[in-house]
Amino acid sequence: MQEAVPQKPKRHRSQKYPATPLVGIIPESELGPAMLGLDERARRFVLELRHGPAGYGSEARAVRAAGYTGNAATLKKRATRLIHDARVQQALREVGYRFIRAAAFQSIRNVEKIANDFEHRDCLKANLALLDRGGFALETVHNVNVTHETKVVVATEKVLERIRILAEQAGIDAKALPPTIDLKAEEVEDADE
Amino acid sequence: MLTNKEIDALTNEERGAWIDAMSADERMILYTAPGYLYSMVNASIIKRLLTQKLTTGDQLELLETLGKRVDRYFTAAALAAIEPICDTGYQIFREARKADKTEDGIESMMLLSSWEVFHRPVVLNPSLMLAIRLCRRMD
């Protein structure tokens, strides 16, 4: 008689983050068009993701905090479906841009802090970054010389003499060369005067 | 008169026999570098162009180009001996220029200086043969 193989105990992962909502009342006047296109819970999901922790379990936490109910598997599915929804993705992008823009000021403060810390190894880099963005970037000068050369040979005595010499060397009688067809400039009076 | 293709197809013995049967003038043409043959044709074309009404600048430029052709082999005397090319010769040159794939004109140069083609301008313009003779100092 075969002995029954003992079943492997099922692993229960402990909940990583508490599902306490981080977002309060959402005033519609502050929302962009993508967020306005979502229902209340989806909006909360997006904002919970924005304000909540990042990494493993963050999506499940956001779903729970947004007010969705069900067991762990259901919530996980719900989170996946929401994340892959095109409208939600657009709303995440909309919120993300605002977040980046707002976070930029914090970054400026951080760079400023490093720039003022003379002992910091990136002090020079931070100072250069601030100079660049503050309108004191290193100016480079590119000299591009474009020369448009129009060779106009004027029939001066010197030129005619050169023609005579060259023609003679080539065995051509310079006097037999046909007359040239050079244009002659004439001064024209302005019609208005 | 052998064509370029026929010359290429000759065996060494046949080629030797062909050269042995040549006249002195023909041999001179054969032993002149293609670049010089082309320079001579070109000089006759430039001389033809100089018979037309041009601006002083163009006239000077063409004469300067002619002057630059002269060296220790293609002497000033040889250049002076070349007469302007005739209408038919000029037409041959224009047809040859159609073979050019690039602006440097290497294809037309090879064609004009080839055995099969060079003979025609020489027949039409005997001064080219005189120039070859002068270059080889045999006249």
What ipTM did this prediction achieve? 0.80
Do the Cβ atoms of A179 and B53 come within 8 Å?
yes
Q: Does any CB of chain A come closer than 8 Å to the CB of residue B67? A: yes
pLDDT at residue number A14: 65
Give which of B60, B75, B83, B85 to mutate to test A binding, by max A Cβ within 10 Å.
Answer: B60
pLDDT grade for B139, boundaries at 50, 70 and 90? very low
Q: Around Cβ A144, how many Cβ atoms within 10 Å?
A: 4
Residue range B12-25: mean pLDDT, rounded: 89
Which of B53, B67, B81 has the CB atom closest to A166's CB atom?
B67
Give which of B44, B56, B70, B75 to mutate to test A binding, by max A Cβ within 10 Å.
Answer: B56
Residue range A69-78: mean pLDDT, rounded: 90
Nearest CA in chain B to A171: B80
Q: Is the pLDDT of residue B114 over 80?
A: yes
Amino acid at B47: K
pLDDT at residue number A126: 93
Amino acid at B51: T
* CB-side neighbour CA atoms (13 Å) of B105: 13
How far A188 CA sits from the closest chain B CA (Å)?
23
Non-local CB neighbours of A100 within 8 Å, separated by 6+ positions: none
Distance in Å from the first CA to the final CA of chain B: 25
Distance in Å from the first CA to the final CA of chain A: 127
* Three-state SS at A99: helix
Q: Name every chain A residue with its beta carbon within 8 A of the beta carbon of B67.
A: 166, 169-170
Report d(CA B88, CA A12) in Å as an integer.
100
Q: What is the pTM of this model?
A: 0.52
Burial of B132 (0-12, 13-18, 19+ CB in 10 A): buried
Q: What is the tens place of the pLDDT at every residue in B42-78? A: 999 999 999 998 888 899 999 999 999 898 889 999 9
- B62 touches B54 (CB < 8 A): yes
* CB-side neighbour CA atoms (13 Å) of A42: 20
- B85 touches B47 (CB < 8 A): yes
- A155 touches A177 (CB < 8 A): no
Q: Does any CB of chain A come closer than 8 Å to the CB of residue B76? A: yes
Interface of A with B in 2-41 (CB under 8 A): none
Residue spans of the domains in chain B: they are 25-135
Taking alpha carbons only, the member of A126, A15, A22 closest to residue A66 is A22
Which of A151, A172, A178 has the CB atom closest to B57's CB atom?
A151
